[in-house]
């Protein structure tokens, strides 16, 4: 079963002084109420998830961009997706 994922509307990724911050906009400010700090890899995955993606898309992009095994990339992607889901940031 293929599952597409996408970041919910109302959030923007900003690179500020070498840090990557996700900032809520509009109604998300009161609903979400905080800012998220991401690593470079987290920001890379976030940008990919700004449009509909499958896990395989993320895995392919990550192994091309970083010197990482498919197994390690898959584990890291799963952890990142779980965090996004628990924060209710995915559609």
pLDDT tens, residue by residue, 31-79: 777 889 999 999 999 999 999 999 999 999 999 999 999 999 999 999 9
Question: Is 2 part of a structural domain of the chain?
Answer: no
pTM metric for this prediction: 0.90
Q: How far apart are CA 16 and CA 66, in angstroms?
A: 22
40 alpha-carbon distance from chain centroid? 11
**Residue 74 belongs to what domain range?**
11-86
Question: Is 15 part of a structural domain of the chain?
Answer: yes
Confidence at residue 33, expressed as pLDDT on a 0 to 100 scale: 73
Q: What total of structural domains would you count in the chain?
A: 1
The larger pLDDT score, comparing residue 28 to residue 2, is at 28
9 alpha-carbon distance from chain centroid? 13
63 alpha-carbon distance from chain centroid? 16
Question: Is 39 part of a structural domain of the chain?
Answer: yes
Confidence of residue 13 (pLDDT cuts 50, 70, 90): very high
Question: Is 79 part of a structural domain of the chain?
Answer: yes
The answer to which of 5-9, 28-32, 74-78 has the lowest mean pLDDT is 28-32
Helix locations, the chain, DSSP H: 28-32, 40-48, 55-65, 70-86
- Helices (H) and strands (E) in the chain — how many of each? 4, 3
């Amino acid at each position: 079963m293929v599952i597409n994922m996408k970041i919910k509307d109302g959030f923007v990724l900003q690179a500020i002084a070498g840090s990557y911050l996700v900032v809520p906009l509009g109604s998300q400010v009161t609903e979400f109420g905080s800012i998220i700090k991401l690593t470079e890899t987290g920001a890379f995955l976030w940008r990919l998830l700004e449009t509909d993606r499958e896990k395989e898309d993320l895995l392919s992009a990550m192994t091309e961009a970083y010197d990482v095994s498919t197994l390690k990339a898959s584990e890291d992607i799963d952890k990142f997706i779980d965090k996004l889901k628990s924060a209710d940031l995915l559609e």
